[in-house]
Structure 1
């Protein structure tokens, strides 16, 4: 290796600066690259941990020049919204949602119909023609922000009234195979970190299309896991994606596993889950692969089941009126860690997607059933412990999550 690994750094990443430096150790030099507008808190943390340069993240060529001037030989990121920038610096051409889907369909890996929308009303004929539903998100969207699942004309009415000034990407909704219980959901993700691949189960979505939790290891049989990993590999090949870390979301089907999307980064929460439940250092593996190393595939074995619950506020909520305290959540059955509990008086807005979770809590169980029972128990507790008001200050009631977990 002839220089450090450049890491584009921002908030809400699958690895924090401290986790990156810890995983890198003494034998893998890293260079942090921060936007010149980064707030002082993150800047001070990054500069205290590793050599740091500042650049304008709106200028990909300028970022590439700053990275080259610092002697870095490769660039990566663990922040979802910075993946397009990292792709431009590396000259990847497939990271946009529209181009990604076009390539997957052209290669025969995907059969999902899609369209780029310049106006929300353009979704109406798509819903009428596709029938089963339409998923709409910003072309450059991340973390399920501003994402809608539209099934009826009334859904389209609500979407059209609320859609912001985003260029939109619409895709045909594909239902996955139902599982034996409400937990987990009908979609999964395949985590591909160099030679390592494993499957993450997901909790059911909250309205209108928000992620609410992840679970490891998958409860799917080994034959299904092997098929899903192969499908994810086919998707990467169709995109021309090189060695690296990828988070591939899929819908298992009866005769065809369908790609939801491919993300060119280590999946959120994945390294932490592996640290809690297995013996594989996924963070270090991701750094090695990004730096150009070719490590052998480790065998991942799970000592226990692990989940992270991302508790969503109701879609109509705009402010938290009552919240539980962190200590009480830490005493709930199976709780490993409480990352975040937002307090009374704080604003909330579903349009921020996963980033707007009002509580983020890690759980463990000896087997899948115990984990699911504890996940439901905690979700029910949070449902009763939090209260919310809408934009007029009126109490919010009648949400269908977590009722769907039962």
Structure 2
């Protein structure tokens, strides 16, 4: 590659600007590309860290011209919603959720039925036809935001669509996980030739992610099969070399793709630093820049997890919260990224971005990590209190599913 690596930067990314420049070091020049409407906070941070240019993210050709004028030799992003833009600048096409599913089904990689909804009431006949459940999310949704799992007519009654164009998919149950992690799905992280699995904690209502764990507790043979399935999905989508985050459900006769994301998975780089002393962020940058030499696997020296503790679905404000110091003293806690305070608003519709506490944990093995994860969930459940839209007390039962 000649010239710097251009990185399209926005909020809600799997690598922050600080993490990008830290991973790049002194030997891999990067160029930050920001939308001209970027808020001042992100603009100030980016400009302080690396050469920065501004473009109109609604104009792919204009972005490409700005990047070319700056002399960049390649372009990438760590923000989910910017993956289609990065692909267009590279003269590729990254499909949205609707087109992804269509291509996967056409290639025989997926059997999941799907539909775009013109009106929320269209969910009812889909639930009746598909039977097992319907997952509804915005066509361009990210981070579990505005995502619903509807399994009964009562769920549909409670469903509120919001202003988004909606995409519905048939719900498919995966094989239960191990005794130390009952979630029925996981993800495969692909960074060039490097591939490994990420376990998931059980979802919170109506369909929110609550935690990730490394390394996967699934048997090596299952992981190898899931990596192969992820590779088939990338081939069906016409994906080129790069970093990908593929969510899957293991099945009895075949595995099923949940979705494919065209960037490094969230929290993955930090997990690899904590648990394996591997700089996956740097590997992802090298792959984007066209370099080779990434390993095919990594060796984990301990198990790590990040908990995204959810407020109850009906909560709208935090009325009581733990202090950061007390959380830092819980068994196995490595870092407390965030703990939101009493009086702050909360809203499940923001998905994982609305987690009221984000905490990293470590354990010597899967069992110890899982015990510490459950201990922390129980502690947070007791320490937080919430009120609803009209000031009434609201309680949640998410930690109960961890038992």
Same fold per superposition (TM over 0.5)? yes
Determine the structure 1 residue equivalent to 2:158: 158
2:5 maps to 1:5? yes
Match of 2:252 among 254, 272, 275: 254
Residues 251 and 259 of structure 1 are in contact (CA less than 8 Å); yes or no, is this contact kept in structure 2? yes
Residues 194 and 295 of structure 2 are in contact (CA less than 8 Å); yes or no, is this contact kept in structure 1? yes
Q: Which segments of 5 or more consecutive residues in structure 1 lack a partner in the other structure? A: none
Alpha-carbon shift at residue 235 of structure 1 (Å): 0.5
Question: What is the 5 A alignment of 1:191-210?
Answer: 191-210=189-208
Bigger shift: residues 58-67 or 95-104: 58-67
2:402 maps to 1:405? yes
Question: What is the 5 A alignment of 1:279-290?
Answer: 279-290=277-288
Aligned partners of 2:330 and 2:67: how far apart in 1? 46
- Output one character per residue of 1:358-387: Cα deviation in whole Å (capped at 9) or x when no partner: 100000000100000000000000001111
2:229 maps to 1:228? no
Aligned partners of 2:32 and 2:178: how far apart in 1? 45
Aligned partners of 1:36 and 1:323: how far apart in 2? 37
Question: What is the 5 A alignment of 1:41-52?
Answer: 41-52=41-52
2:276 maps to 1:278? yes
Determine the structure 2 residue equivalent to 1:355: 353
Determine the structure 1 residue equivalent to 2:101: 101
What is the TM-score with the length of structure 1 in the denominator? 0.97
Alpha-carbon shift at residue 19 of structure 1 (Å): 1.0
Aligned partners of 1:324 and 1:9: how far apart in 2? 33
Question: What is the 5 A alignment of 1:118-129?
Answer: 118-129=118-129
Alpha-carbon shift at residue 310 of structure 1 (Å): 0.2
Match of 1:382 among 357, 380, 397: 380
Determine the structure 2 residue equivalent to 1:337: 335
Secondary structure in 2 aligned to 1:402?
helix
Alpha-carbon shift at residue 295 of structure 1 (Å): 2.1
Over the aligned positions, Cα root-mean-square deviation in angstroms equals 1.1
Residues 84 and 93 of structure 2 are in contact (CA less than 8 Å); yes or no, is this contact kept in structure 1? no
Determine the structure 1 residue equivalent to 2:116: 116
Residues 95 and 263 of structure 1 are in contact (CA less than 8 Å); yes or no, is this contact kept in structure 2? no
Aligned partners of 1:67 and 1:184: how far apart in 2? 45
Determine the structure 1 residue equivalent to 2:145: 145
2:77 maps to 1:77? yes
Residues 23 and 283 of structure 1 are in contact (CA less than 8 Å); yes or no, is this contact kept in structure 2? yes
Determine the structure 2 residue equivalent to 1:309: 307
Aligned partners of 1:84 and 1:197: how far apart in 2? 23
Alpha-carbon shift at residue 334 of structure 1 (Å): 0.2
Residues 208 and 315 of structure 1 are in contact (CA less than 8 Å); yes or no, is this contact kept in structure 2? yes
Aligned partners of 1:257 and 1:65: how far apart in 2? 41
Q: Which runs of 4+ in 1 moved over 4 A?
A: none
Aligned partners of 1:284 and 1:219: how far apart in 2? 25
Question: What is the 5 A alignment of 1:388-399?
Answer: 388-397=386-395, 399=396
CA gap of 1:91–1:164, structure 2 versus 1, over 3 A, is farther
Residues 193 and 289 of structure 1 are in contact (CA less than 8 Å); yes or no, is this contact kept in structure 2? yes
Alpha-carbon shift at residue 7 of structure 1 (Å): 0.5
Bigger shift: residues 282-291 or 176-185: 176-185
Secondary structure in 1 aligned to 2:125?
helix
Secondary structure in 1 aligned to 2:394?
coil
Alpha-carbon shift at residue 255 of structure 1 (Å): 1.0
Aligned residues: 403
Alpha-carbon shift at residue 298 of structure 1 (Å): 4.4
Secondary structure in 1 aligned to 2:398?
coil
Alpha-carbon shift at residue 92 of structure 1 (Å): 3.0
Secondary structure in 2 aligned to 1:171?
strand
Secondary structure in 1 aligned to 2:361?
strand
Determine the structure 2 residue equivalent to 1:30: 30
Secondary structure in 2 aligned to 1:63?
helix
- Output one character per residue of 1:194-231: Cα deviation in whole Å (capped at 9) or x when no partner: 11000000000000000000000111111001000000
Alpha-carbon shift at residue 158 of structure 1 (Å): 1.1
